A and B are shown apart, each in its own frame.
Chain A
Amino acid sequence: MMTLLISLALMNGCMVGLSRTLNGRLGQYLGPFRASFSNHIFGFLLLTLYIYPTWTEMSFDWRAEASWPMYMGGVFGALFVAVNSYVFPRLGSTQSALLVMSGQMLTALFIDCVSRNHFPSYGQGIGMLALFVGVAWNKFLGQSKIRTENTSPAGNKSPLLYIVSRREESGSHE
């Protein structure tokens, strides 16, 4: 059971990566803002289908309970997808994932400490230090060299998606 849960959570991380990859790829064609819109509208439609059957059972009085900033998460989400789609093809998937993760962890810790009014624990302090070392290392020494100049719209030549890229190739002309 535990193995299943662990693989499920790991796979979920891959889902995050997949989502960002597709958005980054779309951003290369349409620009980051349109990629962000596409990401959100398709997600919205899919979630609508998912929650529609249980809509009437939902006992959530949105006027009484939630304050308006809670609804503004989506605004940051739209900006995030745009920014991520912009950097993703430039830095590559590993580096953009690592840097986004660092920014996210540090901000989350900051929010956590401010809202609960305490300082980070010793463990968190050491964690922050390790994170800073990793980010600085990444900034000054990291250099994931591009192995193949693979910037054509046809893009990848991997066997798995060869057919897809072939079709793309025939549809476009440089």
Chain B
Amino acid sequence: MRRFSDFGFALLGGVLLAMMIHLNSGLSRLSSPVFSSWVAHGVGSVAALFLMTLNVKNQGRAVFKGNRPAPWYFLGGVPGVFTVILAGLTVNSPLQLSGTISLMLVGQVIFGFLLDSTGLLGAQRRRLSWGDLGSAICILVGSGLMIFGRHPV
């Protein structure tokens, strides 16, 4: 059984992500996906800077404190930017928004499996159980039904 705090925080992350996308998509409709992403990154930088000033206990909760991270660990924002640009291409294609989102979810899980099983990029190697695979299939199928089963607009 997983620790409840990790489990809960991961779900909370999803809630925050959906809130961000909801707010940002309004701006995206009025301007463009790239522009709205630019604004979100700018506002996000300021917000993160503010969070850094908070004296939260977890701020210094770094596992490898005192060690220098590899320089490319700082580049997490770069694939994030490519996500916006690539999504702009596929959303305006026959795949549409629903197809793009579903395939991106599948891609994320494939990438996760790859990383967990090989330990690439410094990830811990984990042995995935059949239960993990089962829950992955349930969640992907459920997400697919929620995306494609929408009421017609």
Q: Chain A residues with Cβ under 8 A from B113's Cβ? A: 94
Q: A12-B104, A14-B107, A43-B81 are in contact. Are A31 and B62 (CB under 8 A)?
A: yes
Contact, CB under 8 Å: B86 / A12: yes
Closest to A115 in B: B22
Alpha-carbon distance between A98 and B14 when the two chains are bound, in angstroms: 10
Q: A30-B62, A93-B115 are in contact. Are A5 and B45 (CB under 8 A)?
A: no
Contact, CB under 8 Å: B47 / A18: no
Q: Which applies to chain B's interface (DSSP): helix, strand, loop or mixed?
A: helix
Q: Chain B residues with Cβ under 8 A from A39's Cβ? A: 48, 76-77, 80
Q: Chain A residues with Cβ under 8 A from B77's Cβ? A: 19, 38-44, 46
Closest to A25 in B: B73
Closest to B77 in A: A43
The interface bits of chain B over 66-96 (1 if a CB of A lies within 8 angstroms of the residue's CB, else 0) are 0111101111111111111111011001110
Contact, CB under 8 Å: B108 / A13: yes
Alpha-carbon distance between A135 and B14 when the two chains are bound, in angstroms: 13
Contact, CB under 8 Å: B94 / A5: yes
Q: Would you give the shortest CB distance from A163 to chain B, in whole angstroms?
A: 11
Q: A95-B10, A99-B7 are in contact. Are A126 and B145 (CB under 8 A)?
A: yes
Interface residues in B1-44 by Cβ distance below 8 A to A read: 1-3, 6-7, 9-24, 26-27, 30-31, 34-44
Contact, CB under 8 Å: B112 / A17: yes
Q: Would you give the shortest CB distance from A124 to chain B, in whole angstroms?
A: 5
Q: Chain B residues with Cβ under 8 A from A102's Cβ? A: 11, 14, 139, 142-143
Contact, CB under 8 Å: A147 / B104: no
Q: Would you give the shortest CB distance from B5 to chain A, in whole angstroms?
A: 9
Contact, CB under 8 Å: A172 / B67: yes
State the interface size on chain A (CB cutoff 8 A).
134
Chain B residues packing against A (C-beta within 8 Å):
1-3, 6-7, 9-24, 26-27, 30-31, 34-49, 51-52, 54, 56, 58-65, 67-70, 72-87, 89-90, 93-95, 99-100, 103-113, 115-116, 118-129, 131-132, 134-139, 141-151
5 closest pairs, A vs B, by CB? A13-B107, A103-B14, A123-B149, A127-B145, A74-B43
| 25 A-B contacts (beta carbon < 8 Å) | A16-B104, A16-B111, A17-B107, A31-B61, A37-B48, A50-B34, A62-B31, A66-B31, A74-B41, A76-B20, A77-B44, A78-B44, A81-B44, A87-B13, A91-B2, A92-B116, A92-B123, A93-B111, A94-B116, A103-B15, A122-B149, A137-B138, A139-B2, A156-B122, A160-B120
